[in-house]
Every structure is written in C-alpha cells, then in structure tokens.
Amino acid sequence: MYRREIILDRGILYFYINGELIKSFPATTGLPGVTDPNIANQGPIPPGWYILKPNEINDYDYEYTLKDPSSFYIKAGLLSRYGAYLYKENRYRNLNQKGDWGHYNVELHKLKLKYNVPAQQQRFGFFIHGGIREGSAGCIDVDGNERDFFQLIIKTNKYDGTDDILVEVTDTPNRLGWENM
C-alpha cells in the first residue's frame, strides 16, 4: 500500500513515502519565542496528527505553477528584469493582502491531538504554507522552501484515492533556541 507521511520535529519537516525518508525541509510553527500551543494566534500547532489533502492546495503564484516548474524561469528569462519584477511584486502583494502565506498553502484537518484539550480551548484552522518571514500564527511555515515542498506533494500523488497525507506534529516542533528568540 502506498503511504505518505510528514513529521514535524525540532524545526525539520520530514517527508516519507512508505517509511523511507524522501526529503526534509526547515520549518517553524508559531511566533518566535512562543512555545505554548494553547495560545491562540501565537503558539505552535498543537502536537498530534493531521490529514493533508493535496487536492486542497491553494496556489497564489501568478508567474509559477506546480504543473510546469520551469515556467517562471522561462518567463523571467524572456522578460528579463520585468519577469523578476512581476514575481517580486506578486510575492509582496500576497504578503500585504493575505498575511505571510507565501504562494502555496493547504489546510491541515485535525485527526487526533496528543493531549486532551477542552473543546472550548481547542484551536483550529491550521495550514502548511510558505512566506517571507519565519514563524506563523500557529501554522507550519516552510518559508522559502514552499515550491520544493508543494511540488514534491504534487509529484508523488497517485490520483487513486491514496493521496491524503498523514502529518504528525511532535512535542518539540521547533528547533532548539526558538523559545529564546
């Protein structure tokens, strides 16, 4: 059976297929210095298991698509500085209008938390996304690695009903020293 899994541990997002590590990406969750997952809009994503549905990936990049990764570079090469300007302009427009979401994001659907949290204190609405600044309001942020990360998800889809990915968030999702930033 084909199985993909992502594990966030100590500031690294590990991508596995059938138990074999395929690639890892630096990642953060929550705002720098905040370690309590119960603090809404600041703390890291609560430890537990989530489901990522690749068909829910949002692509906000106007000059680059996951289906043709060379398209931006071709356009930038043909358009010279104008192409690079469009890319940079779209990136900052996204930051100013939608927050620091980067060009791609996908919602994480809660499967099971590692700790019991009263219903009225549970947080929701977590995503994996990119962005310019390190950290987030509780989502998993892959920063400048978003293209590689989301391209890997799309490239490894089977489109046979097995595409959902299990995401595990450990008790120590951020790198050592994050709490002191």
The DSSP result for 104-160, as a single string, is EEEEEEEEEESS---GGG----EEEE--SSS--SSSEE-GGGHHHHHHHHHHT--SS
Q: Predicted confidence band at 67 (pLDDT cuts at 50, 70, 90)?
A: very low
* pLDDT, average across residues 160-173: 93
More confident residue, 62 or 61: 61
- Give me the sign of the Cα torsion angle 90, 95, 99, 104: positive
Q: Predicted confidence band at 62 (pLDDT cuts at 50, 70, 90)?
A: very low
Looking at residue 181, its pLDDT comes to 67
pLDDT at 175 over 80: yes
Q: Predicted confidence band at 159 (pLDDT cuts at 50, 70, 90)?
A: confident
Q: Please state, in angstroms and as integers, the Cα–Cα distance from residue 164 to each residue in 19, 39, 133, following that order.
A: 15, 28, 28
